[in-house]
Amino acid sequence: MTTAVAAPFRFFALQVVTARRLGPSLVRVTFAGPDLRDFRSDGRDQSLSLFLPHPGQSEPVVPLELGDEWWRGWRELPDDVRAVMRSYT
């Protein structure tokens, strides 16, 4: 029996290049950026989290320097500083 190993959490710096309304509550957003050259999809069960900056911030605040402990560091940041996170599957 083999044990599944979780893939490491990866961060990609991206920009929104288009946003198109498809319905009253559905928008198709297209992202681009040089980091995408390293993106790999390993199957159908994919999820992603968007980290968005607060108004006045030039980029989202996520403590990437903490490595695998980024989540703990992110949770410890003040709500008005840490990036807004939205997760999708």
| Domain spans, the chain | 45-88
Q: How many CB atoms lie within 10 A of CB 55?
A: 4
Task: Name residue, tokens 């390993």.
Answer: 42
pTM recorded for the entire structure = 0.76
pLDDT confidence of residue 86: 94
pLDDT confidence of residue 60: 95
Reference 61, options 81, 35, 79, 78; nearest CA is 81
pLDDT confidence of residue 17: 97
DSSP code, position 8: P
Structure confidence at residue 56 as a pLDDT band (50, 70, 90): very high
DSSP code, position 9: P
Mean of all residue pLDDT scores within the chain? 89
Reference 12, options 37, 35, 42; nearest CA is 35
